[in-house]
Amino acid sequence: MANARLVYQSRVRGCLLGGAIGDALGAPIEFDSTLRIRQRYGTAGITSLVPDNSGHLGLITDDTQMTLFTAEALIRANVRAHSVSGELGGGDSRTGYGDDREGWLGLGGDEADIVHRAYLRWLDTQQYPGPPPQDDGIRNGWLRRQHWLYSRRAPGNACLSGLSHRRFRGAAPEFGCPGPVNSGSKGCGTVIRSAPFGLAAETPRHAFELAAECAQITHGHPTGYIAAGALAALVNVLRQGLPLREAVEATLDLLVTYPAHEETANALQSAIALAGRGDPTPEKIESLGGAWIAEEALAISVYCALVAGQPEEMRRALLLAVNHSGDSDSTGAICGNILGALHGDQALPADWLVPLEGRAVITELADDFAIEFSGPDVKDLWGAKYPGD
């Protein structure tokens, strides 16, 4: 049991830190074409972390910011679930590693509301120079107090507009129907923040459905939220130890059981097929799309993971994921989430971790997450760090 918990902790760290590394790697070239990248950095493109236009190295973007607030929300949802379960005389709601505890996160039934509140805390980081005063509603907890998060790094328009109304969405529609907010948007902002659902949920289906529901907080196009669910399901299968190719196939098998799966399934099938067609190039990557929309970002990230999926190839995979004309930081982040969940934090390039913005906070959040979902009941120790709302 102790060993299983250490493996889980390593996968959580790998997923969150790997995503942050990929994000920071791709951010300086996010809006550059392959031609521009080659002209500036050589025919191989970037080969390591490079400074942004202001000379800073290792800065993350909104992709990592939102992922961290998702992770925080899931801890808080589980704290809430424990409280509700305790009030009702129920048992523990943890995923359960090496023991016979059953259930999964969020038995309190308020997961989407808690995630929505977390994203409103993220919205503060885009609108204020530092943490606004604490209140008893949304503005509380530990993560929002991290000053380095208060930086606007090209956030997605749908994420901003979807949250700016500051209204709760209400009940999500049936899968396959347009959601109530930004019903025509399927931007990749749904996918880039959804890996933590896969780390927390007990089963791939639970991960898929919760991620898809919470994606509709900002994006209502069915493909946008279905692709988010697919990433969460894939991460869930990987953190349980399935090899990458089998995990992708298992995710596809689950995906096609939902309506409106076609665009995401077709994109993943194209990624699998392309992975068998010789050495990867930016041009091959771009045949899957520009990654500005959800299913393309997922497909490109999966492709790069498939063609360089061994632990010692993590550096190569992330470089492939960013050296193209599309949304480089998003594909770098998603690929890092996938391979980090697969291999754990030991596979992360150590020299890329050193300058990574917020590394200590990301590691602390990852370890808290691992404790919450695999360790002993510590809800009384979190206090104001992770209130259950």
Q: List domains and CATH numbers for the chain.
A: 8-43+58-381 (1.10.4080.10)
Residue 61 in marked binding region: yes
C-alpha to C-alpha distance for 126 and 220, rounded to whole angstroms: 22
CB 20 within 8 A of CB 336: yes
C-alpha to C-alpha distance for 174 and 166, rounded to whole angstroms: 23
CB 252 within 8 A of CB 264: no
Kindly state the average pLDDT of the residues 153-160: 96
Confidence bin at 171 (pLDDT 50/70/90): low
Residue 330 in marked binding region: yes
C-alpha to C-alpha distance for 347 and 104, rounded to whole angstroms: 28
Residue 63 in marked binding region: yes
Give me the pLDDT at residue 169, please. 54
Over residues 327-343, the pLDDT tens digits come to 999 999 999 999 999 99
Confidence (pTM)? 0.94
Over residues 94-139, the pLDDT tens digits come to 444 333 333 344 444 589 999 999 999 999 999 999 999 999 889 9
Give me the pLDDT at residue 170, please. 58
Residue 327 in marked binding region: yes
Write the CA distances from 50 to 63, 298, 306, 333, integer angstroms. Answer: 18, 24, 25, 16
**Lowest-confidence pick of 10-19, 95-104, 146-155, 280-289:** 95-104
Determine what percent of the chain is predicted with pLDDT higher than 90. 85
